[in-house]
Structure 1
Amino acid sequence: MQTVSTSTPALLGESIAALVDADGTGNASWPVALAYPATPLRDLADAVHALCALHGMAPSMIEQASAAPGTAGATRQWLIDIATAFDDERAMLATLTAAVGPLPSTPGQAESEATIVAQRHALTMLAESHRAGCAIGAAAAFLLDWTAIRRILAIAGERVGVVPERSLLPTDRETIAMLDGLDGGVTVRRAVTFGAQQLLAQHRGLWQLLDARASARRGH
């Protein structure tokens, strides 16, 4: 007799965490390369400048998501509180950007700047989405991916004598628990997943850009 599978779908938080593990910064080739001790400081400096350009401006993506029309109730308050904590991360980014020195000279600088501006616009659109769950998914994926991004920032900081203080952002476990507690059924789950996927796509694009910039510097 054929057995019918009764397996249940993964919890939303577990599902988004798996997406970040598979498609996020921690599994991208260029961040792995940046972690090598022999990595030129100019490559780390380029990454710091790019991350500051993408995520160092106010309002942060988290703050934008907290005010999105599709965000409400306890989740809105959770994001408001985290937006305040992320202010410290933006200050750290600014300090680190100054410490690593000027942006390394790279062919195609104007095109790179235009790409990052477009990415910032795409993230703003996600964070301000009217679709219930989209902004939350993007913000949650950002927080989960920031764990790996922060490791790169810490490596850069160690090279220039600026060690970032302990993050006040929620732990990955806390972010996953928030997602698991969301209501709204399949519609919200799909929107959360979409927001997370789009956020990760923008971060992947950034790392690919930085990899290409490093190659251009080596060939220049």
Structure 2
Amino acid sequence: MAFQQHKEAARPGAAEAVGALLAADGGKTHPYIASAIFARGREAARDLADAVHLISSLHGSHPGVVDLAQQRPPEEAVRGWLDAAAEGFAEERAYLMRTVVAAGPLPSTPGHAGCETAVAGQRHALEMLARSERNGCALGAAAALVLDWRAIRAVVDAAAQRFGVTLTPPALPSMRQTLGVLELIEAPAAERAIVFGAQQLLIQHRGLWDLLEARSGARVDALL
């Protein structure tokens, strides 16, 4: 999946802004995903199963965010990155789905009907971002997904280990490659659209982590 990036000098812009968004609102900063889900004792298996099921609800189908972004006519500077990201995400999706199968059924949780509605809304929001006609929006969403996938991957890996799935090496472009390709976008309107797409994707991910945390608490309360 190696690809060659252009070497042109680029002024700071979308890459710096997206990096700041990731540092502030990425999955690694959410308390549930950052640590709590790994410290639930005997509830950890159900929490991890719940997580991979809901992650697959957002990102387990094809075409996903990266695939839809790839379908839009990309600027030559980002074509290689999009191709590599789409190829890598196909591998990540297959790994996720093997883990979902090994995890078994979705854990029974009070209020599940409301959860289904919430996840459907998140999935629709992500699709709208990836299909946006605004130049740069789909790229921003795809880049944020690739960057934030590192936090998601930690959860998927933990679930894979728990349920006996062989771990696979990460397949997506690196953070350096991803931020590097965003530095090549110099049009101010496209930069703003990239930042918007990234911001909105991270908002949907934060909503997913909040939902998983609430579902974990509801299962605990149901046992009391």
Same fold (TM > 0.5): yes
1:108 is displaced (CA, Å) by 1.2
After TM superposition, the structure 1 stretch with the greater mean CA deviation from structure 2, 76-85 or 49-58, is 76-85
Quote the Cα distance in structure 1 between the aligned partners of 2:151 and 2:12. 23
- Does structure 2 retain, via aligned residues, the 8 Å contact 1:106–1:213? yes
Quote the Cα distance in structure 1 between the aligned partners of 2:169 and 2:140. 24
**Structure 2 SS opposite 1:58:** coil
1:182 is displaced (CA, Å) by 1.4
> Which one of the candidate residues 192, 200, 203 is aligned to 1:201?
203
Query: Is 1:75 matched with 2:78?
Result: yes
Matched residue, 1:169: 172
Quote the Cα distance in structure 1 between the aligned partners of 2:217 and 2:207. 15
Identity %: 46
Query: Is 1:121 matched with 2:95?
Result: no
Quote the Cα distance in structure 2 between the aligned partners of 1:164 and 1:124. 29
**Structure 2 SS opposite 1:40:** helix
Number of residue pairs the alignment of both structures matches = 210
> Which one of the candidate residues 92, 95, 98 is aligned to 2:98?
95
What CA RMSD, in Å, does the superposition of the two structures yield over aligned residues? 1.6
Alignment of 1:23-62 (within 5 A): 23-32=25-34, 33-36=36-39, 38=41, 40-62=44-66
Quote the Cα distance in structure 2 between the aligned partners of 1:86 and 1:44. 21
Quote the Cα distance in structure 1 between the aligned partners of 2:148 and 2:133. 23
After TM superposition, the structure 1 stretch with the greater mean CA deviation from structure 2, 204-213 or 35-44, is 35-44
* 1:72 aligned partner, one-letter code: E
Quote the Cα distance in structure 2 between the aligned partners of 1:118 and 1:24. 20
Quote the Cα distance in structure 1 between the aligned partners of 2:19 and 2:161. 28
Matched residue, 1:135: 138
1:11 is displaced (CA, Å) by 4.0
> Which one of the candidate residues 15, 18, 27 is aligned to 1:16?
18
Matched residue, 1:5: none
1:15 is displaced (CA, Å) by 2.1
1:77 is displaced (CA, Å) by 4.2
* 1:136 aligned partner, one-letter code: L
1:105 is displaced (CA, Å) by 0.3
